[in-house]
Amino acid sequence: MATSASGSLLVRHEFLLRRLHSLSGLVPVGAYMVVHLITNSLTMMGVEPFQNAVYQIHALGPALPIVEWGFIFGPILFHAIFGVVIIMGGRSNVSHYGYAANWRYVMQRITGMIALLFIFAHVFHLHGWFHFDLWLEKVAKPLGGARFSPYNASSTLAAAMQSSFVVPLFYAIGVLSCVFHLANGIWTMGITWGVWVNPPAQRRAGFACLGLGVALAGVSMISLAGPLTIDADEAMKRENEMYEMRVEEGSVMPNEHKRAGH
C-alpha cells in the first residue's frame, strides 16, 4: 500500500519533480561544483591562496553546516535520489533520437551514477561524512577517511592525494564524470525548459556546453595536479605560521579540531 501511494505521489508530481531535478543540477549543485573546482585549482598558486580561500569559507562559523546542508548536501541528495529514480525508469531511446543523442542519453546516466559514488567516496575520504570525534577516530580515520584539515588545507590535501597512485586516478575519473554530467545536463536542461527549441539553437548550445565542459575539465585537472606538486611538510610549516599569525591578529578563532594532528 505504501509503495503504491509513493508511486502515485511520483506520478502526480512528476512534472514538478523533473523540473526541480534539472534546476537543482544547475543551481546550486552545478554552480557549487564550478566554485569548488576553481577554489581547489588555487593549490597551483601556492599554499597561501588556497589556505586563505579555506579561511574565508570557515569564517561562516556556526552557519557553515546550515549553508552546507541547505545549499550543497541537501540539493545533491535530492538530485541524486531522483536521478536514480529516473535511471531506474529509463528506456533506450535509439530509435527516437538517433545515435549521437542516444550516446549522450546513456553517458548522462552512466556519469551520473559514477558521480554519485565518487561524491560519497570523496566526502568520506577528505571529511569523513560526520564531524563528531567518536565517529572520526573510531570509524572514518581507521578506514582512510577524514584526511583533510581545514587549517592545514594544502598539506593535508597533498598527503591525501599522494597516498597512492590509485587516488588521483579515481579522482580524475570521478571529477571528469561530474564535468560531463553538468555540461551535458545544461544542454538537456535548455531543451526541457524551452530555452533552445529548434535544431540551430540546439546546435549552438551544444557547442557552448562543449566549450564549458572542456574548460571545466581543464580546471579540474589543474585542481588535481596542484596537490600532487606540493611538499606536504613544507606546506604544513607555512600553514601553521599563517594560523598563528591570524589567531594573533584575531581574524581566525583558535580551533585545534580544524588543524592536522588533532
Query: Which domains can be identified in the chain, with CATH numbers?
Result: 16-60+69-87+95-258 (1.20.1300.10)
> Mean pLDDT across the chain, nearest whole number?
90
Q: What is the pTM of this model?
A: 0.90
pLDDT digits (tens, 9 = 90+) for 50-88: 999 999 999 998 899 999 999 999 999 999 999 998 888
Distance, CA of 128 to CA of 141 (rounded, Å): 7
> What pLDDT does 85 receive?
87
> What pLDDT does 44 receive?
94
Helices (H), the chain: 2-12, 14-26, 29-41, 47-58, 63-68, 74-89, 94-97, 99-127, 133-135, 153-161, 166-192, 199-228, 232-249
Query: DSSP states of 7-36 as a string?
Result: HHHHHHTHHHHHHHHHHHHHTTHHHHHHHH
Show Cβ contacts of residue 226 under 8 Å, excluding neighbours closer than 6 positions. Answer: 40, 41, 42, 43, 44, 50
> What pLDDT does 92 receive?
52
Mean pLDDT, rounded, for 107-134: 94
Q: Please give the single-letter amino acid code of residue 21.
A: H
Where does the pLDDT of residue 208 fall: very low under 50, low under 70, confident under 90, or very high at 90 and above? Answer: very high
Is residue 228 within 8 A of residue 168, CB to CB? The reply is: yes
Give which of 25, 40, 26, 35 is closest to 221, Cα–Cα: 40
CB-CB neighbours of 256 under 10 Å: 9
SS3 assignment, position 254: coil
Q: Inform me whether the pLDDT recorded for 109 exceeds 70.
A: yes
Mean pLDDT, rounded, for 176-195: 94
Distance, CA of 57 to CA of 245 (rounded, Å): 18
Distance, CA of 140 to CA of 149 (rounded, Å): 14
Mean pLDDT, rounded, for 221-239: 95
Give which of 205, 181, 179 is closest to 193, Cα–Cα: 205
Is residue 102 within 8 A of residue 93, CB to CB? The reply is: yes
Please give the residue that has the higher pLDDT: either 9 or 60: 60
DSSP state of 137: I
For a pLDDT cut of 70, what percent of the chain falls above it?
A: 92
> What pLDDT does 2 receive?
47
Show Cβ contacts of residue 109 under 8 Å, excluding neighbours closer than 6 positions. Answer: 87, 90
For the chain, the farthest-separated pair of C-alpha atoms sits apart, in whole angstroms, at 67
Give which of 81, 85, 87 is closest to 119, Cα–Cα: 81
